[in-house]
């Protein structure tokens, strides 16, 4: 295991992660298989709206690699500007959110996670809500780090000194970086031998790029924040390239609950409240939502009609 100061130097030297395939401000080459598209062929692109309130009037093009089926956001933007108004910074841990965190907790405990283990939630957001949830349950060795957070909150790189971690959670992060291999290499150095890493992300195979009007799809494509979205096959390959073994697969979003809120109900709620992701991180207005027959139907039966647009892969590092 490399000493922690070298780990921090490695993280500092490469943040933010930059792509090696950037050409004229557009992603024209697949970052996974190298397939290159013709930017003049409009039939290759689908146009999706931004689902963050501050940029709701902006649209962006995406394309799917015909070889590995990875989905890419075409145009590059100044992400610092977009993250400065990202709604998760004002998120609150309401009861529905805590129920969803319980789902992630179950996925971890299925593979031995207990209170004496250490966990790093990498990319935990400005509030580190899942870390707070774990600590409320007595998981005192749970830590959060987010390169876009402030040093006073979860952006302090010194937290990485607590490595090696028994478990690492990478929930809704890998699709936000240009080069997933660089990120996973760094996390491998932070992960203890025999440790587990849970990677949750959109499932590119389940996303219909011909329906940018549906919240089930535009919330997963999430332009321009999601740079690359992968299939299960590609995600497992990325982990195997680090020497990790896939030991479990979850084919539903962590917020897909059998009883109560589920992914279809969440998306219908977003649509009812104006169509932006911001409403998920604000105090709930369930009373208004309950006036919608469509929302009520999804609330009761949505679990069985899930589009399964998100997935999670659990990997284990060799001991």
Rg (C-alpha) for the chain, rounded Å, is 19
- What confidence category does residue 4 fall into, taking pLDDT thresholds of 50, 70 and 90? very low
pLDDT in tens, 73-90: 999 999 889 988 888 766
pLDDT in tens, 194-222: 999 999 999 999 999 999 999 999 999 99
Helices (H) and strands (E) in the chain, counts: 10, 12
Contact 311, 250 (CB under 8 A): yes
Tell me how far apart the alpha carbons of residues 187 and 164 are, in angstroms, rounded to a whole number: 10
Among residues 193, 183, 318, 191, the alpha carbon closest in space to that of 246 is found at 318
Residue identified by tokens 């009037």 is: 57
Residues with Cβ within 8 Å of 232's Cβ and at least 6 positions away in sequence, in order, are 203, 205, 249, 311, 313
pLDDT at 99: 84
Q: Where are the alpha helices (DSSP H) in 143-214?
A: 180-190
CATH classification of 4-18+83-316 is 3.40.50.150, yes or no?
Answer: yes
Contact 154, 179 (CB under 8 A): no
Burial 39-58 (b: 16+ CB within 10 A, else e): beeeebbbebbbbbeebeee
Domain-wise residue ranges, the chain: 4-18+83-316
Collapse the DSSP code of 319 into the 3-class scheme (helix H, G, I; strand E, B; otherwise coil) and give the result.
coil
pLDDT at 16: 45
pLDDT in tens, 79-123: 889 988 888 766 665 667 788 899 999 999 999 999 999 999 999
């Amino acid at each position: 295991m490399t000493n922690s100061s070298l780990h921090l130097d490695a993280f500092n030297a490469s943040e933010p992660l930059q792509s090696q395939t950037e050409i004229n401000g557009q992603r024209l080459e697949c970052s996974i298989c190298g397939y290159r598209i013709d930017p003049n062929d409009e039939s290759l692109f689908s146009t999706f709206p931004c689902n963050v309130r501050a940029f709701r009037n902006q649209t962006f093009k995406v394309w799917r690699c015909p070889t590995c089926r990875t989905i890419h956001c075409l145009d590059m933007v100044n992400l610092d500007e977009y993250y400065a108004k990202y709604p998760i910074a004002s998120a609150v841990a309401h009861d529905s959110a805590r129920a969803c965190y319980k789902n992630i907790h179950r996925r971890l405990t299925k593979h031995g996670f207990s209170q004496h283990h250490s966990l790093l939630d990498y990319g935990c957001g400005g509030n580190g809500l899942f870390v707070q949830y774990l600590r409320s349950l007595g998981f005192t060795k749970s830590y959060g780090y987010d390169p876009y957070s402030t040093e006073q909150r979860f952006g302090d790189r010194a937290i990485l000194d607590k490595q090696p971690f028994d478990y690492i959670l990478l929930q809704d992060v890998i699709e936000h970086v240009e080069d997933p291999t660089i990120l996973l290499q760094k996390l491998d150095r932070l992960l203890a031998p025999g440790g587990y890493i849970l990677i949750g992300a959109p499932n590119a195979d389940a996303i219909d790029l011909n329906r940018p009007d549906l919240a089930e799809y535009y919330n997963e494509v999430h332009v321009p924040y999601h740079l690359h979205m992968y299939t299960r096959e590609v995600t497992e390959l990325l982990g195997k390239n680090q020497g990790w073994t896939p030991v479990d697969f979850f084919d539903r979003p962590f917020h897909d609950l059998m009883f109560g809120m589920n992914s279809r109900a969440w998306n219908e709620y977003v649509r009812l409240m104006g169509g932006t992701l911001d409403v998920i991180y604000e105090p709930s207005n369930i009373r208004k939502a309950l006036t919608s027959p469509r929302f009520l139907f999804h609330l009761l039966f949505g679990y069985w009609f899930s589009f399964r647009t998100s997935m999670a892969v659990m990997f284990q590092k060799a001991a």
